[in-house]
Every structure is written in structure tokens, then in C-alpha cells.
Structure 1
Amino acid sequence: MKMIKPAFLGTLMVPAFIFAATAINADEHAATAESTMPMEATYLTSQPEGTFHADSLTGNQVKSSVEDDDDIGTISDLIIGEDGQIQAVVVGVGGFLGMGEKDVAIEWDSLELTQDEDGDDYVIRVNASQDALEEAEEYERN
């Protein structure tokens, strides 16, 4: 009979250990989930100073700083990294009335942005000629 008591007590202890281990694992999982949850959303009521909207760029002409400010293409899209920073602009170049035009992606750091005299619109310049953009490799959007 003495052998049965320790075996019986051991059998009762196993579920208690499993329950304790599950509770600890659940607490660790909850702590990990809390640390990976995105922070609560914040909202803007007006445009912060020193920022602009994407539509301030799209549709604008890109001017050549080497060819007397000639219009050399139109911004059709922005390439934005996962960090939210603009990586490049997609510029439609060449063609006539939208026919035969190709897209070229110009890195953001290659552009010069200034505001026009009114301060309403941006003037976008790149240190390249229209010929250089037309000869550049076409940007293929995936």
C-alpha cells in the first residue's frame, strides 16, 4: 500500500505542473503581444509646417536645370519606402500627347524642390537633359 500513495500523489501532481506551465506561457505570450502591438493612432487637424501633399508633386512638370528650365517630363507617381520616405518619383518622358511616353524613376535626392513666386506650387528640377531622360532605362512597375 505504501507504493500506491506516492504513485497516486505523483499522478495528481502532473496536471498541476501542466496547468502552472500553461499559465506562465500565457502570461509571456500576452506580454509579447502587448510589446508588438502598434501604438494607438494619432490624428492631425492641419498640415504640419515643412510638409506637402503628394498631389503637390504628381502632375507637375520636371524642369531641366541644364537646359534653361525646359519642361522635360511630368511626375506621374511616387515611390515610397516602408519607412514612409519618398525614394523616387516616376516621370513620364518623351512621346507626344501621352503617346510613346515612357516612365523613368528619378531618385528623390536627385531632385531640387523650390516654391514658385506665389508660394503655392513647387518647381521641380533635375540636373539632366531631356535627351538623358529619354535614353535612361524605363522604370517597370511590378
Structure 2
Amino acid sequence: MDHSSHIRLASSELTAVILEGATIYGPGDEKIGSVSHLHGSQVVIDVGGFLGIGAKPVVVPISDLEFMRDEDGNVHAVTTWTKEQLKEMPEHIDR
């Protein structure tokens, strides 16, 4: 997917309502996860699994993700993190 023509989200749009469920793409443009929810200024990403089952939640700073809308208005993000790097992170547990 060519992200260069996608519209970047303004900081005011970085809300749970807009970001939850957004697909995350890694450096090779592969799907590496999806946004589970926000945790302050951090994003909880579900990595791996199938249809939400067996996914591992990990936390990354929101600044490590570049959120945008595609031609159809769907929100997604790109990052330099790989799926393998995210899987190596500690599992996030909400408290």
C-alpha cells in the first residue's frame, strides 16, 4: 500500500474513538497488529493471533506510530517496529 498519499491525522484526532481497531503496518508494509486501546499517551497493540484470539497486547508510545486515513477514510498507522520486535516486548496487562 502506498501511504504517501494518505492524509495524516492531526493530534486532535488521536483519540480512542478514532484509533481503536486501526491496522498497524510495519516497515515492509506488512500488517503487524491492530490498536486495542489507548493507555495515556501510549497505544496498546494486539500482535499476532487470529481474529483477536491469541493476540499479545504490547504498549508503544503513540509517537512511534504515524496515523493516517486512506482513500476510503479508514484509519491505519505505519511504524518502524517489526512484528518480531513487538512480539519480544513484555505483555501489557491493564491494571
> Are positions 1:117 and 2:91 aligned together?
no
Work out the percentage of aligned pairs sharing the same amino acid.
32
Distance in 2 separating the partners of 1:121 and 1:101: 22
**Structure 1 runs not aligned, ≥5 long:** 1-49, 81-86
More helix by share: 1
Q: TM-score, normalised by structure 1?
A: 0.53
Q: Which has the larger radius of gyration?
A: 1
Report the counterpart of residue 58 of structure 2 in structure 1. Answer: 104
Task: Work out which of the residue numbers 78, 82, 86 in structure 1 matches 2:38.
Answer: 78
Question: How far did 1:94 drift?
Answer: 1.3
1:134 partner SS: helix
Task: Work out which of the residue numbers 9, 13, 16 in structure 2 matches 1:54.
Answer: 16
Taking a change above 3 Å as real, the CA distance of residues 79 and 117 of structure 1, as seen in their structure-2 partners, is same
- The CA RMSD over aligned residues, in Å, is 1.6
**Structure 2 runs not aligned, ≥5 long:** 1-9
Taking a change above 3 Å as real, the CA distance of residues 132 and 57 of structure 1, as seen in their structure-2 partners, is same
Taking a change above 3 Å as real, the CA distance of residues 109 and 102 of structure 1, as seen in their structure-2 partners, is same
> Are positions 1:128 and 2:81 aligned together?
yes
1:79-137 CA distance string (max 9 Å, x none): 12xxxxxx11101111223222110011011111222124x232211111111111111
More strand by share: 2
1:16-62 CA distance string (max 9 Å, x none): xxxxxxxxxxxxxxxxxxxxxxxxxxxxxxxxxx4325222101111
Aligned residues: 84
- Taking CA–CA contacts closer than 8 Å with sequence separation of 6 or more, which of the two structures ends up with the larger relative contact order? 2
Distance in 2 separating the partners of 1:105 and 1:58: 14
Task: Check whether the contact 2:23–2:75 (CA below 8 A) recurs between aligned residues.
Answer: no
1:76 partner SS: strand
